[in-house]
Amino acid sequence: MQALFDLAHYSHGQPVPLHLIAERQKLSLPFLEQIFNKLKKAGIVTSVRGPKGGYVLTRPCNEVSVGDVLRLTDGAFYAAAKEDPKAAHSALQADEKMNRLLWKQLADHVARFMDTVSLADLCVESGSNACPNCTCPDYTQDLANQFKQGLRKPCGL
């Protein structure tokens, strides 16, 4: 998420080299290469070759959700949310089943919430949507106005 947030914030419609994202976010370049390879295969980013190459988002920031990214980069989280407590734990005691069901419902709730938060939401709420070539200017302006009018509460970043 840090790397995609960085890409959304710094790209201004231009490719951003991974080494710059790695430096700014203090992340391992080989790790980022693996993550961006998954994101590229999923169609969230694309690469641009050449001396001014790097990565760009393939769709507007408001169309890339945190859930999209986590499903690709943190499969264990979503695998736990999909687990069927009835089939996988039929031999468990009733209290153990109840605990697993409760945690599954919480994981499902968190997964659904993550699908409602976009990169644009993160940019607006953090005050970093200063990009002059914003890919979703109407969305970010509307969201900023909702915060100003008290129609929506920020997450508290």
Architecture (CATH level 2) of domain 2-64+118-148? Orthogonal Bundle (1.10)
Q: Six-digit token pair at 16? A: 């951003």
The secondary structure of residue 150, as a DSSP letter, is T
Among the listed residues 129, 117, 106, the one whose alpha carbon sits nearest the alpha carbon of residue 155:
117
State the amino acid at position 60 in one-letter form: P
- From first to last of the 157 residues of the chain, give the pLDDT tens digit: 889 988 887 877 789 999 999 999 999 999 999 999 999 999 999 999 998 899 998 888 888 999 989 888 876 665 554 555 455 555 567 778 778 888 888 888 888 888 988 888 887 776 655 555 566 667 777 777 776 787 766 655 4
Long-range pairs for 95-103 at CB < 8 Å and ≥24 separation?
A: none
User: Does the reported pTM lie above 0.95?
Assistant: no
User: 152 with 142: CB under 8 angstroms?
Assistant: no
Give strand ranges (E) for 42-119. Answer: 45-48, 54-57
Q: Six-digit token pair at 75? A: 């499969």
Residue 21: the pLDDT is 95
Residue 129: the pLDDT is 55
